[in-house]
A and B are shown apart, each in its own frame.
Chain A
Amino acid sequence: MYTQGLDIPKGDKSIPVEQGDSPEAVRFQARIDADEKIEPKDWMPEGYRKTLIRQISQHAHSEVIGMQPEGNWITRAPTLRRKAILMAKVQDEGGHGLYLYSAAETLGVSRDELVDQLLDGSAKYSSIFNYPTLTWADIGAIGWLVDGAAIMNQIPLCRCSYGPYARAMIRICKEESFHQRQGYELMLSLSRGTAEQKAMMQDAFDRWWWPALMMFGPHDTKGGAEGMKSQHSEQSMKWRIKRVSNDELRQKFVDVTVPQAEYLGLKVPDPYLKWNAATSHYDFGPIDWDEFKNVLAGNGPCNKKRLKVRREAHERGAWVREAAMAYAAKKAKRQAA
C-alpha cells in the first residue's frame, strides 16, 4: 500500500525520469521488457534507483508509523483474544517495515539516512495513518479497509522489476491476509451486537471509507484533471516498478468491498454509489483531493502527533543502541586479548 505518496508531484526534478540511450540503458530496458528481475549490483539508471529508494522507504516508513493508530488500542482491547491478535498485527507492521528497509538498503542507502528522513519530516508516509482511531470499531475498519486496500496495492508489487522489493512484497502479502480477516471478523462481531455497537461500526466505516479510497493515490487514467498525474508515474510503469494504475486498483477495491459492507449491514457513505450493469463495476462519487493533498502536506488530524511519538521513541532508544554497541566492542576486545 502506502505507495501513493510516491506519485511524485509535477515539477519535482529531484528524480531524473530520462535514462538516456547509452548501451547500458538500452540493455537495461530490454531486460525489463523481457520481465527479467534487476538485482542489487546490476547496472541501473539513476532515476530507477532513486525512484525505488523513495518508494520503498516511504513504504517502510508507512509500516512503522502505521503501528501507532492500532498500537494505542492494545491496552484497551476488549478481550485477551483480541489483545493477542492486535499485538501480533502491530508486530507484523514493524516486521514489514524491517523487510522494506532491508530491501531499500540494497540500493546503497543506509538505514540511518532513511530513518533521519522520516524523523526530520522530509520523507512522506501514507496519508491514511494521519487519521485518529477514535473507537474500538476503528480497529476493525483499519484491518478490513486499510489492510484490504494495501493488499490490492501490494499484490502487483510482488511482480515489481526490482528483485529485493518484489521478494519483500511476497513475504508481506502472505501476512496481510491475516490482518484483513481479523478486521472483518471484528466488524462481524459488532454487526451482531447491540444497536450501539452497530452505530459505532457504521461511524467507523463512515470515517475510514474515503481515506481508504485515497490510499490508491491520485487519478492516473481519467486525464489527471486534478493536476497530480506526473510523468514519473508513466516512467514507473515503463520500469515495471508500478504495474497497475491507481484507478484500476481503486475500482477493484470498491467492487470487492461494497458487497462485504452490505453483508455487515453497513451503508456506504457515498450518495453516488451504484452498480453499473453496463460496465459491471460500481460507480462512485468524486474524491475530495483537497483533503488528500492537505493530509499529505502535513495538515491531517494526527500528522504532528505521529512524528512526535516516533521521534520520542527513537530518542529514548538511543542509550540502548549505544550501550549495545559498547558492549559488543568490549566483548570483541576481550576475545582478541
Chain B
Amino acid sequence: MSRKEWPLYEVFIRSRNGLNHMHVGSVHAPDPKMALENARDAYTRRGEGVSIWVVESNAIAASDPGEKASLFEPLAEKVYRHPTFYDIPDEVKNI
C-alpha cells in the first residue's frame, strides 16, 4: 500500500456576505474540488458559511514571527500616520 498523504489545504470561510473570508482550519484532499467538499462537510455543518476558499498550504508564504520586530516596529514609530497625532483647537468643528 502506498503511503502518499493527500495534500493539505487551508480553509477560509465567509460567514455571511459583507464580511471577509476568515481562516478556520485545514483539510486533506487530493484536489481542490474535493478540498472544497471536505471543507463544506468539516467546517459548515450548521450554516457557518456562504462561501469557501481553499488553498494548498504549500502555496502560502508566511512572515516569520522571529522577524516581527524588523517587519512591524518601524510602523509603530510613524505616529504621524494616526489622526490623533494632530492638535486641532476645540473651536474647530467637524474635523
CB of B27 to closest CB in A, whole Å: 7
Q: Which of A302-337 contact B (CB under 8 A)?
A: 315, 318, 321-322, 324-325, 327-328, 331-332
- With A and B bound together, what is the CA distance between A164 and B25 in angstroms? 8
* Closest B residue, CB atoms, query A106: B26
**What size tier do the contact residues of chain B reach?**
20 to 34
Main secondary structure of the interface of A (DSSP, over half): helix
The residues of B that contact A171 with a CB separation of less than 8 Å are 24
- With A and B bound together, what is the CA distance between A175 and B47 in angstroms? 12
Question: Does A324 contact B8, Cβ atoms closer than 8 Å?
Answer: no
Q: Does A98 make an interface contact (CB < 8 A)?
A: yes
9 A-B contact pairs sorted by A residue (CB < 8 Å): A43-B65, A88-B45, A92-B45, A95-B41, A98-B42, A111-B5, A168-B25, A328-B31, A331-B31
Question: Which residues of B line the A interface, CB within 8 A?
Answer: 1-6, 8, 24-28, 30-31, 34, 41-42, 45-46, 62, 64-66
Question: Does B6 contact A325, Cβ atoms closer than 8 Å?
Answer: yes
Question: Does B25 contact A325, Cβ atoms closer than 8 Å?
Answer: no
Question: Does B5 contact A112, Cβ atoms closer than 8 Å?
Answer: yes
Question: Does A41 contact B1, Cβ atoms closer than 8 Å?
Answer: no
**What size tier do the contact residues of chain A reach?**
20 to 34
Question: Does B5 contact A99, Cβ atoms closer than 8 Å?
Answer: no
* Closest B residue, CB atoms, query A39: B65
CB of A313 to closest CB in B, whole Å: 14
CB contact between B3 and one of A43, A112, A331, A332 (< 8 Å): that residue:
A112
Q: Does A91 make an interface contact (CB < 8 A)?
A: yes
The residues of A that contact B65 with a CB separation of less than 8 Å are 39, 41-43
CB contact between A325 and one of B30, B42, B45 (< 8 Å): that residue:
B30
CB of A34 to closest CB in B, whole Å: 16
CB contact between B30 and one of A41, A88, A175, A328 (< 8 Å): that residue:
A328
Question: Does B6 contact A103, Cβ atoms closer than 8 Å?
Answer: no
Question: Does B26 contact A105, Cβ atoms closer than 8 Å?
Answer: yes
